[in-house]
Structure 1
Amino acid sequence: PQQKWKRCHALLYPDSPFGVARLEFYDWKEGPVPGDKVRRASDRKVLRLAECICVAPAASESGPKENMVAFSLETNDKTVLLSGDRGVASEWVQKVCELAFPSKSSSQEKEPPDPPVSSSLEMSVNSLYVSREEVSDFRVTVQRTEAAERCSLHGSYVLRTESDCLLLKDPNSKETLYSWPYKLLRRYGRDKVMFSFEAGRRCSSGPGNFTFETSQGHEIFQRVESSIRAQQGSDNRLSCPTLDTDYATEVPWS
C-alpha cells in the first residue's frame, strides 16, 4: 500500500556525558531547524539508538518524492520508516549505524563527540511508525503484591496505555485480562525500574497495589499523566459534576 508521510525535523545526538545516543523528531516548521530554546518536549519524539537492532535501506518502500529513498530503524517493538533525499539518505544510515552499533575501536577513541546532525526528513505515519498519539504497548513483569496474588498475576505481560485506561494483556494471545480506568486509580508512580499504581475498589481487579518491573516506567507514567489531564480538562467543561472526580495523583517514589 501507498505510504503516508509527514515532514519533520530530525536531530541525531551521539552518546556523551550530557545524554544518551538518540534520534529526536520534531514537528515540521518552516525556517531553520528549531534551537534548544524553542524546541518543546510536547513536540518531541525520541528513539534511543541503543534500542536499535537493525538500521538499513528500505528498498521495497518508495519515498514521498521521486528523488527520495526510504530507510528503516528497527527496535524490538517498532519500526520507524524514514525517507530523505537520495544524496543524503545513505549518509544518515551510516551515521545512525556508527552511533547505534559502535565498534570497540571507535569506542576507545577519546575525541570529543560531534555536534548533533540535523536535517529535514519525511517520516512515515502509517502502521510501521508508532507515534505518541497512538496506543502504546509495554512489556512488563508483574511483581508480587497482595492484589497481584489475588488476581493470579505472575510473570510477563503487555501493559497498554490508552486514552482512558490501562489494559493488561496476555503477551501471546493478546487477550485483555484486566482494565484499569484512570478515573478509578487512587494514585500512581514510577522509578527507573518499575511503574506502580493503586487500583480503586470499583476496578475489575478489585482494590490494591500493582507493581510492574519495566525500564520504560517514565514513559508509561508520562502517558498516563497526559491522559488523566486530558480527561480532567474534558470533565471541567461538563455542565454538571460526576461521581468519578477523584482522579489519581502521583506517588513520590524514593
Structure 2
Amino acid sequence: MATDIGDIVKQGYVRIRSCKLGIWQRRWIVLRRASSKGPRRLEKYLDEKTASCGGSHKVAVLSTVTLVSRLTSSIRKHAFSICFQDAETKCLASDCELEADTWVKLLAQECLLPQTSLITGEPDILSPGIQKELQEQFHVYLMPTPKLDVFGECLLQVTHENIYLWDTTNPRIKLVTWPLTALRRYGSDSTKFTFEAGRHCFTGEGMFVFYTLEGERIYCKVHQATLAIARAHYKVKKQTEKSQAIDKELAHKKMPICQTTVDTVNSCEGLSSLTERCETECPVNEEVSEPAKSNPHEDLSLRYSLATTSKCSLRSHLLSCNMHRQGQ
C-alpha cells in the first residue's frame, strides 16, 4: 500500500573532495530517491542542523550516473567515487569501511541497477505496442480521499486507454485503474495534476489530486490519449454512416430490377394463356393425325411445324395457328 514513507534513502556525514582545491571537507549529505518532490538526487548541507531546518544546500542530480565504485586506500581510506556521463567525478569518503560499503551499495541500487519498472508488473497489460508507454512512470503524491484507502507516494502511468496507479514499494501491485473514457475533466499546474472521475470508474465519482513536479507532462499524455480515442470513435462513426449510405443506395438500385422481373413474369404468363387459347382454337395435332393429305404444301407446312415444336413450343404453336387459318 502506498503511504508517505518519505524519499530519503540514506543520510549522514561524509568527506567530499573539492574539485578546485582538492581538499576534503566534512559535509552532511542526503540521498533521495525519485519521488513527487523531484528526481533521485544527492543533497549536500553544511551540517545536520542545516539539513533538519531545510537550509541552503547544493543538489547533484543522479540521473546521469555511469559508475559507482570504491577507491584505493592510496587516495583516501574508506573512499568511493560517483562518475557521471559528462566525465565529472565526485569523490567521497566515510568514517569507516562499513559506511563506505553501504553508501556504494545504495548508490548503485538507485543509480545503476534497472529501476523497478511496470514492465515487470501484471501480464494483463503487457500487450504489444505499449511496452514503450510502460517505461514512462511519474512519481506522484496522492492526496487522501474518501474514495480510496491509499494515499501518499505512488507511481502514475498513462497508457492509450487507462490511468494506472502503482505502489512504489512494490511496483508489481496495481492500486487502481481509471479508464480515460470515464474521466469528466482533467487539468494541471506547476505543482499538481488533477482529474474528476465519472461514475463508471471503479472508484466512482470524485476528484483526485496528485502533487508532482511533472503535472504538465502527465496532462499532455492524458490529453493526447483522449484525443486519439475521440478521433478513433469519430472515424468508426463515419465509416458506419458511409456503409449504411451505400446499403441504402444499393437497395434503391435493386427495386427497379425486381419490378422489371415481375413485369416480365406477368408478360410470360400472358403469353402462356395466349398459347393455351391457340391450342384450344387450333387443334394442330388432330389435323396432323389424319392419314391422307392431298396438298403437298400442307405436308411441307406440317413438317415445318413439327420440326419447330421441339425447339420452341410457344413459337411453333403460334406459327401453326397462323398457317392453319391461312389454309382455311
| TM-score, normalization by structure 1 | 0.44
Greater RCO, CA 8 A, separation 6+: 1
Structure number with higher strand proportion: 1
Higher Cα Rg: structure 1 or 2? Answer: 2
Structure number with higher helix proportion: 2
